[in-house]
Each structure stands twice: as structure tokens, then as C-alpha cells.
Structure 1
Amino acid sequence: MALLDTIISAFPIFLLIIVMTKKQAWPSHIALPFVALLTGLIQIFYFYSDIQLLMANTVAGVLSVLTPISIVAGAILLNRVLAISGAENVIASWLESISNNSVAQLMIIGWAFAFMLEGASGFGTPAAIAAPILVGLGFKPIQVAILALIMNSVPVSFGAVGTPLWFGYDVLNLDNDTLLSISSQSAFINAVAGFIIPILALRFVVSWSLIKPNLGYILLSILSCTLPYWCLAQFNYEFPALLGGAIGLIVSVLLANKGIGLSAVENSKLTNEKVELGKLLVALFPLILLILILIVTRINQLGIKGLLLKDNIVFGVDIGGTYFSVSQSLILSINNIFQTDVSWSYKTLYVPAIIPFLLVVIIAIPLLKMSRKQVAAAFLDTGQRIKTPMISLAGALIMVNFMMQGGDQSPIFLIANAFSSITGSSWSYFASLLGALGSFFSGSATVSNLTFGGIQYSIAEQVGLPVTTILALQSVGASMGNMVCINNIIAVSTILGIANQEGYIIKKTILPMVAYAVIAGLVGTLLI
């Protein structure tokens, strides 16, 4: 009976993998809600779960979408403002003028610049901005697509101001010290992999004969991002990628300007056209302001963070046993949904949507001299882009809530028990692959952590492995899964005008992902 329970519990996940990877794959906004519905039906008719509790988890899952989707919307809106106003072209021209060395260009734009963008917004933004710049420099689109997918892996654990970590593991109710331990170990494993992964990515665009004489610069550029990234992760899980990328971008640019670690070989496709300093500062101002606001609102000692998180209730109403409240800092909460223990909350001013994204956009519009038509286009484009991700995330969150219902007999616990009995204490070698699988079918490290964080937690407890290390490996796996994620591959291919090459790209990116998994398994086991 226990075996049948496990098979039934795992069936929705296996079905999800099948329908999203078959020849005519289902898109995530159809597959995830469908599998969520199936999971709910299994809970009702096989596990005889409380229907009222399932309904409460459904409501909580739908409402929980507000956190990640508002961040995504803010990030896309800012990027559309930069693109439509022409600021993005100014930034691109500046990046193009820094060095004639093609390796330097690839590291500055494809590595450091994308690293910073991942930390600020995530959700595919780095490839969307960096990849077209590289194609404009004369690199082949198919090669750029592969490089962008591989490069955008190391910073993903802390993408969108740490969303995959602090929101991805929110359902586990971990304390701050535990999250910091996961943060520290994730950053260390990613940083070790960072010595290898960018070099493998470069190999898809340039030859070894060009990489070798520039290896000094490559390693310095890698370290300029990963060293501050790892240091920051010791005490913060929101800024490592954002500030690590910003520091790395500055250092990589300075090194390239001085020619440090670079060969004298030039790429005639690149230009040295200079950008006026005034125009550059105006174009960069929104990004600089974004980083500054994030820093100011996240450092406890400055006091602003406390103001944004005040939970003193100023308004509350009981609706048939369900209690809705609003706090002093506009934290929206719903407790005892349908008279159950299920609850939900949204930190309106702290979630990086209104502050800083919307605030920066409001300031940037007059600064960039945008017309009403341009502003309307930016908002309309943003609305169009978030429709399907909203449905996908709702499906994922509902499915996760359903799979965690049932205590020791919940589907997640049963699956974890099966995994642990097969691998035992060797699970640390495989944990990252489960995280990668989550990103592969969902297109999001956050969704991967939401989906498999509970399973990883249960496995760690059952086989006696450190929970923080296993969750760190889950986070790392979710990051490396971006390389082979179908959604990401389709997105970057569409942006670059590549048609019907998804299978070819997966065949190329899966090799670096396997290398990443081996490194993660070895380093994770050493940490244990």
C-alpha cells in the first residue's frame, strides 16, 4: 500500500515532466494548472483530504502569485521604459565602446552586466537585454543564445533581489538564520562552479586559441562578480547577485580599459564609438537609482526596512471566520481562510515592486523625456507579458500547497521517503538535479524551489543530512536548470530571431549543466 501511495503521489510530477517535454509540449500556463487540478482530485478521491482545507490552499496559492508577479511586472516595466525611451541603446553603445577584444565584450556584457541584471530583476531579463547587444556586435545569434543561457546560471539563486530564496522557501517557514546558512552555501557552490561555467559558455562563441591568451582577464572578471557575491551572501540573501554583478561590471570595464589580462588581438567587428558622458549618466540613472533604493530599504541599521515592515494592524474585518487585515505599512493579510489554519500576506511596501521598480519608473519617465504614447506602450507591453506567467505561477503555487497537505502522509513526504530509501546518505550527489528538473519544466528557479523545497527538506531529515546544505543544493540546481529550461530557450530564441532550434540548443547547454551538477554534488558533499 505504501508503494502505491508513493506512485500515486509522484504521478502528477511525472505527468508534468512528460507533457512539458514531449514532442508537442504543453506550455507551462496550461500544464501547471492542469496538474494542480489533478493533484487536488487525487487528494480528494484517493487520500480523502479535507475539501475545505483544499479550497483554502487554492485561495492562498492564487493570492500568493501577487508577490512574484508584481516583482516581474515592475522589472519588465522598467526594462520597457529603458528600451522605448532609447536609454537601452545608449547603454548598449557605451558597453560596445569599452574594448575591441571580443572576449572582453562577451565577459562584460554576457557575464558581468547580465549578472547584475539577474540580481535586479531576474525572470529572463538578462538574456533579453544582453543577448541582442552581443548580436549587434556581430556574434552569431545561435551562439549568443547558448552563451546567454549558460552564463545566466551562477547568479540565479539570488535573482530578482533574492526572490528564489526568500519567496521560494517561504512555504517552509524557515527562520532568518537558516535562510542565511542556505544563502552562504548556495553562493559558495555557485562561486566554485563559476570558475568553469563562463569558460564553457565562451567556448560556444570563440575558439580555445582566443580564450587561452585572455584567460587572465576571464578569471579576473569571474572573480570580480563571484567574490563579492559570496561575501555578501554570508549576511544577506537579497543583494549577492545585484551588488556582485554591479561590482563585477565596474571592475571588468576598468580591467578591459587598461587591457589587463587581455591579448592584443582585436575584433574588427567591434567599434570604439564614444558615448557622451551626459547621455550615459541619464541612461544609467534609473539602474543606479534602483540599486541605491534597494540597498537603503534592505539595511536594518538605516531604519527604513523597519518602517516598511510595521505589522501594527490599522484595519481589520472578520468575514465568516476569515480575518482580513491591513497593517500600518500596508501589509495585507488574510488569516484563517475558510476557518482553517491557512493564511496569506503581502508586504506591499517591502516587496520590490512598488518600491523600487514603480518608483524608479515614475522618476525615469520625465528624466528620459518619454511621451504619453511611449509610456502607454511600456505599460501595455508589461501587461501583455505577465499574463501567462501569472497563470503558470498560480498553478505551481496551488500544486505545491496541495502536495504539502496531509502532514506525514502528504504527497511530498511520501515522495521524499521513496527518494531517501533509494539514495540514503548519497542524496547530496543528486539533490541539485532535482532542482534543475524543477527549473526545466517550470522556467523559474523560484517555482523550482517552491515545488521541490519541501521534498528536499523531508529527504534531508529522513537520511540525516544537513537541511541547509540540501536546500542550498536545491537552490543551485534550480539555477543551473535555467540552461536547459524550455521556456528560457524559446524566449531568447524569439528575441534573437532563431527558429526551430530549441532541440539543438538543449543538446549544447545540457553538457555544461551536467558539469555544473557534478561540481555541485562534489562541493555539496564536501560541505557536509
Structure 2
Amino acid sequence: MEVINFVLAASPIIVVLVGILAFKKPAMKVAPLALVWTIVLAFTWFNVQSMSFTQNVATVDALLWKGIKEGLKIVAMVFAAFVILNTLKATGAIEDVKNTVAKISTDRRVQLVIVGMMVPIFLEGAAGAGAPAAIAAPFLVALGFEPVTAIAVALLGDATPCSWGGAGLTTISGGAALVNAGISTAAENSAMVGRIHMFGVLIIPFLIVALTFGRKGFRGIIPYLLYAGVTTGGTMFFLSNFIGPEVTSMGTGFISILFSVLYVKVVPIRTPEEYRYEFPQGVKQKYSSVQALSPYLYMLVLLPVIRYTVPLKILTTFGYIVWVDCVIFLCAVLGAVTLRVSRTEFKEVCRLTGRNMVPVLVTMGSLLVVSYIMQSAATGMMALIAQNIAAFAKVLYPAAAVLIGSMGSFITGTGLGSNIMFAELHVSAAQSLGMNPVTVFAAQNAGASLGNLICPNNTVAACATVGEVGKEAKVMKKTLPAFGVLIAVYMVLSMIYTLVVFVV
């Protein structure tokens, strides 16, 4: 019976994965089917509170409307990010964007690491809420990278800083259960997860190049990739352990970009011709570098300024993501003004972009409602899955905590949601097993960050920002191997930290 309960509780996840990966169906078709199946389970097998049919209808109805509302908030951000990309295309500024970034380095692999990993780390600290992939993926497309690859790289680049999120919120709020119990502090939680993620960012530059160019892509670039991984990982370790969670992501992203720019200006990279960006001959640049990059420059300034100057209570009045939506759209407007786009042209860009948003809303709304139903105490589905994994793991529990964390963000779409959901479970399990709850929660926190890499919500949103709705299977096939490598490394690190280095 326990096995049946576990399989049925996990079946909505299985439906989504099998539908997208095995049957290669677009998420817009798979998500509503998964939703219908989840509702059936909620009314029948997982009606754990023995509610009447009318009570079940009322519960599910509330979650449906919540899914639509929250889905609209995500779609608003996707819309704003896509408007920026379409404006750059419509004006021709997209070519000037390529030329501007190429002035930093003509090696496309260096461009890929800076824009695909370091910029998302910065943006995660500045805003979070899905903004890094939604901004970095269109930027990479603007640089000439293939859209599906650009999406996968942007998601991979954002796989580590999600443990801190905007201004450290994921660790500070997500680890509140440990702080309130007097087990640790926010600083200790930040330090421990930083000791895991520093190894993640060490290998991610290599994963990004392998994902994009294959093994041949490493020719002549290994010293830079090693340098990028060590400097980024070292910066993340230092900030998370000695400064605090509030600045870890944004500081790591900004400082690592400076380190990379310094490297490429001092150390020559022997770039094979196939990876060299060629400046167009005889073509005059239409816009200055500042004008061409203006929508992104506005974001790099406004997102952190607003996040760190406006009280969080005000920013979260209508939900955390809403202020991010507003800022990105404001940057789209300011960018259009800077690029001298007429009001009529901008309206047309918005109109054409908006036509692509309905499928995104259907998909996002369905997936969100699935996650709300699974998290609900009325069904207990997510709790059942986590408890079964924990009971089975025993001495391997630290590794299981990584898996539970990633599963939580796979469903909820956020590391914060996963941490809040499972923090108390991990504290209880660690204490009963005689393990260090701080390292176990760090394993959960790190795994929750990785789960964003393969989360259907994030994949759908990133696909929509570059007009690739329906290509979710292709993206997930690219991100899953990288996820597998990272989660294996994190499981081993969590076991070493818990059972060897930080034994209670």
C-alpha cells in the first residue's frame, strides 16, 4: 500500500516528464492533462481529510484561481522580456548588441560563460523571481546563439544562486525554521550552502561549453574555464561565508564578470575560427554600444537599486514577482525611447508579442495549480513523497535531502517554496538520525536551487521569452544531463560534510 501511495503521489510529476520527454508533446498539452489527473487524485485517493464533494470543489476552485492569478504574474515578466528582444530585432539593434559584447571578447565561448552564467548570478541576487533566465536567454539569442541552447544555458547559469535569491531571501526566509529553533543563524545557513555551491560554479562553465559545442568546444579555452570557475566559486564562498546571504548572489555575479574581463584583456585566448565572432565588414553600426544595450543596462541598474532601497513590505504588496514585472517592462519602454522607437512601432511590437502569451498562461496556470494541489494539506501528496524518501534513505539521508530539495522546486518553481515546505522535515529527520541539521538543510537548499534547472515552470517561461513555446522537450533533454552531474556532486558533498567534516 505504501508503494502504491508513493507512486500515485508522484504520478503528476511522472505525467509531466513522460509527456514532455518520452512523447515529445509541448508543455501546453501536457500541463492541462497533468492538472486533470491531479484533480482526480485530490477528489479520490488523496482526499485525506475526508472532505465532501462540495468542500473539495471549493478547495480546488480556490487553487485554480490562485494558479491563474500567479500564472498571469509570470506571464507579465515573460511578456516584458520578450518585448525587449523583439524591439532589438525590429530596430536592428540586435546586431549592435553582438558587436558590443564582442568588444569584450571575440571568443563566443567566453561570451557564453559571461552572459550565460555570471549575468544570471547577478540578476538572481538583484531580483530573482525567474528574471535571470528570462533576461539572459533573449540576450544570448541576441548574441546569435541558437534559441534552445540559449534557454538551456541560461537555466544552467542560474542553477546555483537560487539558494540565496533576491537579497538572500531564499536562505533567510527558507531557513527560518532552523533560526527560530535556535539551531543556526541565517549567516550559518548561507555559509554552509556556499560550501556546496562553490563546487557547482567551478564545473558549470565546463558544462555550458559542453552543452553548446560538445567536447570539441574545449580547444584552447580550458585555462579560461578553470579560471572562471575558480574565481566565481571563490567569490561565492567568500561572500556567503564572511559577508552574508543578502549580497552573495549579486556580488558574486558582478565580481566574477570583472575577473573575466580582466582575464581576457591580459591573457590571450587562442580561439579556433569556428568559435570566433566575426565583425560584419562594411556595415556601419546603427546605434552606439550604450544605446544598443540600453534595455539591459537599465535593468542592471534599476533592479538592484529598487530591491535594496524600497522596503520589502512594499515590494511584496501584490506578490514579490510583480515589482520585477513592472521594472522589466519599464526597462523595455526606456530602451525603446533610447533606441528612438516611435509609439506606434512599440505598440505593434507589444501586440505581436502579446499574441504568443496565451499558450504560456495555459501552461503556467496548469502547472501552478498542480503544484498547489500537491502541496496542499488537503492532499498531503508532497509531504508523503518527501517522508517516504526520507524513511528509505536512513544513513544516506543527506544525499536524499538534495533530491527532496530539487523535487520541491521542480514542483513549486522556487527554491524558497521548497525550503519552506521541507525545512522542518529535515530538522526532525537529522535530529532523529543524530546528524547535523545545518548541513542537512544546506543539502536541501542546494538541491532546491538545482531543481530550478529542470523545473517545467521555468523551462516554459524561458522558452516563451525567445518565442520557442512547445520546445520544452528539447530544452529539458539538454539540461537533464547537466542536472544529473550537479546533483550527483552535491549528494557526495552533502554526505562528506554531514558524516565526515561537520559531524555533531
Question: When the two structures are superposed, what TM-score results if normalisation uses the length of structure 1?
Answer: 0.70
Structure 2 match to 1:398: 372
User: 2: CA distance between counterparts of 1:92 and 1:421?
Assistant: 52
Structure 1 match to 2:31: 29
Superposed CA offset, 1:53-96 (max 9, x none): 98468636744775675355236404523541445543232113
Where is the strand percentage greater, Structure 1 or Structure 2?
A: 1
The structure 1 residue matched to 2:83, chosen from 80, 86, 94, is 80
**Is the CA contact (8 Å cut-off) linking 2:409 and 2:449 kept in structure 1?**
yes
Matched residue SS, 1:153: coil
**Is the CA contact (8 Å cut-off) linking 1:114 and 1:152 kept in structure 2?**
yes
Deviating more after overlay: 41-50 vs 51-60: 51-60
The residue type paired with residue 111 of structure 1 is M
The structure 2 residue matched to 1:249, chosen from 257, 267, 272, is 257
User: 2: CA distance between counterparts of 1:277 and 1:427?
Assistant: 58
Where is the helix percentage greater, Structure 1 or Structure 2?
A: 2
User: 1: CA distance between counterparts of 2:422 and 2:143?
Assistant: 39
Structure 2 match to 1:293: 302
User: 1: CA distance between counterparts of 2:161 and 2:295?
Assistant: 21
Structure 1 match to 2:447: 477
- 1:154 is displaced (CA, Å) by 3.0
Deviating more after overlay: 142-151 vs 509-518: 142-151
Matched residue SS, 1:37: helix
Q: Within 5 A, what are the aligned runs for 1:107-506? A: 107-116=113-122, 120=127, 121-122=130-131, 124-125=133-134, 128-133=137-142, 135=144, 150-158=156-164, 169=174, 181-206=188-213, 211=218, 213-233=220-240, 240-259=248-267, 262-263=269-270, 267=274, 269-272=276-279, 279-299=288-308, 304-306=309-311, 309=313, 329=314, 346-347=318-319, 352-353=323-324, 356-380=327-351, 381-382=353-354, 384-385=356-357, 386-402=360-376, 404-405=377-378, 410-437=380-407, 445-446=413-414, 450=417, 454-455=421-422, 457-464=424-431, 465-467=435-437, 469-481=439-451, 502=473
Structure 2 match to 1:13: 10
Structure 2 match to 1:320: none
The residue type paired with residue 42 of structure 2 is G
Matched residue SS, 2:106: coil
User: 2: CA distance between counterparts of 1:519 and 1:487?
Assistant: 24
User: 2: CA distance between counterparts of 1:520 and 1:266?
Assistant: 36
**Is the CA contact (8 Å cut-off) linking 1:486 and 1:502 kept in structure 2?**
no
User: 2: CA distance between counterparts of 1:77 and 1:141?
Assistant: 18
The residue type paired with residue 106 of structure 2 is N
The residue type paired with residue 392 of structure 1 is S
User: 2: CA distance between counterparts of 1:369 and 1:10?
Assistant: 56
Greater relative CO, 1 or 2 (CA 8 Å, sep 6+): 2
Deviating more after overlay: 43-52 vs 6-15: 43-52
- 1:198 is displaced (CA, Å) by 1.9
Matched residue SS, 1:194: helix
**Is the CA contact (8 Å cut-off) linking 1:69 and 1:389 kept in structure 2?**
no
- 1:510 is displaced (CA, Å) by 3.9
Superposed CA offset, 1:213-236 (max 9, x none): 433322232344444444454566
User: 2: CA distance between counterparts of 1:495 and 1:193?
Assistant: 27
**Is the CA contact (8 Å cut-off) linking 2:195 and 2:237 kept in structure 1?**
yes
Structure 2 match to 1:70: 73
Mapped pair 1:106 → 2:80: no
Distance 1:132 1:197, change over 3 A: same
Distance 1:293 1:180, change over 3 A: farther
**Is the CA contact (8 Å cut-off) linking 2:76 and 2:325 kept in structure 1?**
no
- 1:11 is displaced (CA, Å) by 1.3
Unaligned runs of 5+ residues in structure 2 are 499-504
Distance 1:397 1:421, change over 3 A: closer
- 1:519 is displaced (CA, Å) by 1.5
Structure 1 match to 2:502: none
**Is the CA contact (8 Å cut-off) linking 1:282 and 1:368 kept in structure 2?**
yes
**Is the CA contact (8 Å cut-off) linking 1:135 and 1:144 kept in structure 2?**
no
Matched residue SS, 1:430: helix
Distance 1:250 1:62, change over 3 A: farther
User: 1: CA distance between counterparts of 2:403 and 2:96?
Assistant: 40
Structure 2 match to 1:515: 485
- 1:424 is displaced (CA, Å) by 1.6
Matched residue SS, 2:270: coil
- 1:158 is displaced (CA, Å) by 4.8
- 1:116 is displaced (CA, Å) by 4.1
**Is the CA contact (8 Å cut-off) linking 1:112 and 1:221 kept in structure 2?**
no
Counting matched residue pairs gives 474
The residue type paired with residue 32 of structure 2 is I
- 1:520 is displaced (CA, Å) by 0.5
Distance 1:8 1:522, change over 3 A: closer
Aligned CA-pair RMSD: 4.7
Distance 1:84 1:456, change over 3 A: same
Distance 1:412 1:330, change over 3 A: closer
Matched residue SS, 1:399: helix
- 1:391 is displaced (CA, Å) by 0.7
